[in-house]
Structure 1
Amino acid sequence: MSNELHELNLDNISWKSIKNVGLDLDYAVAIPKANASAILQELENSLEYFKGDLSKIKVFGKIYPLPRQQVAYGDPGITYTYSNLTVPALPWPEPVLALRNFLFKLKGIKYNFVLVNKYRDGNDHMGEHRDNEPELDPNIPIASMSFGQERMFVLKHKEARKPGPNRKEIAPVTIKLEHGSVLFMNPPTNDIWYHSLPKRKKMLGIRINLTFRKIHNKA
């Protein structure tokens, strides 16, 4: 995979800045289609996803299967806890390490953890949430890389989700996450905006998404 990334001219990437109340995003299709397709195939061939308890999630006291496949990688000693689930970081596989190095060239940040989600088709999805867990470095953006089926990424301001008269009229922000795209969610986005990947039953292709994070609890 390193060959697919090494030859890319980073100066040719066209970034789009997306801003709103407390929202700060940078988005680009950073990897050309042919390179992105080769990367997707390599990820498909090499990654294995969590099974057993790590493939389930607890919601309001009940246990459900995750509506997607998931695995995590990172530096030694790293764990990540969300929704009452503590995820251990497996050692970096070479294809994912190459993507981390690509992000370092783009942004100058060396991420120490990645959560990989595979959406097998449009029925697989991600519910509304914020990535604001205390072990995350609040000064470092979360970097999201997408390969495969385009899907819609929906962000909602926390004040627009409140019921009754306290709710503020702030429109959602929707982004089409394209094949080979990179999205940086800059601070304070994840403190203020919820995000989700809704079901899209007509979208039949697979999608692999990698969200790179900087975590404090490095051993």
Structure 2
Amino acid sequence: MIATLLIAIPGLLMVAVPMIGGAWLMICVAVALKTLIVGIIKHIGFAVKTWIKPHIHYVHLSDHEIETRYRELDIKKNGYNPMRHDFHIKELFPRKPNMEEIKVAAKSLFPHRYHELMPKIGKDDYYLARSFLTNMAVERHTQLTAGQWSEAKEKQWIEMPFLPVIMREVDEEFVNWCFLAVGREVKEHYAS
């Protein structure tokens, strides 16, 4: 009996192992075919669905990339506009602005309105400095058009610490534009 078992077991193993291996192979092939067929059907379904109703695919761009591309497109479409102030915050301030120096300069330029021009909240010094300079530029425009801006103030404005290079470059055009807006010809008409 033991001899019969010793002869039968290898025979059974010779039959069972290929059957089990074949079964696993068939299962793997069936799963692969199912995945392939389902993928093809989903792809065809998506193509038909987007053909009827297109989908928007979002591409991740940083704020700086968006603003740079917008500026390039705008310049192509409308030409260069030096009065536009849509620069990225790091373009305006290559190094971190010192708010104390800006406050001192603002206090000497606008002694009575200094506290109203200072932004109350902000993310960090870059945004505070940009808001503060924007508010000061608006106040300066008001004084220019009202005839209250003097050459001494203009010199202080140009020499203000952390005034962005871009603002310095377009300053003369800005002043001339302000004077033309109120009917003056040149920027010689400062208040004395």
Q: Same fold (TM over 0.5)?
A: no
TM-score class, shorter: under 0.3
Q: More relative contact order in 1 or in 2 (CA 8 Å, sep 6+)?
A: 1
More strand by share: 1
Please report the TM-score for the alignment, with normalisation by the length of structure 2: 0.27
Please report the TM-score for the alignment, with normalisation by the length of structure 1: 0.25
More helix by share: 2
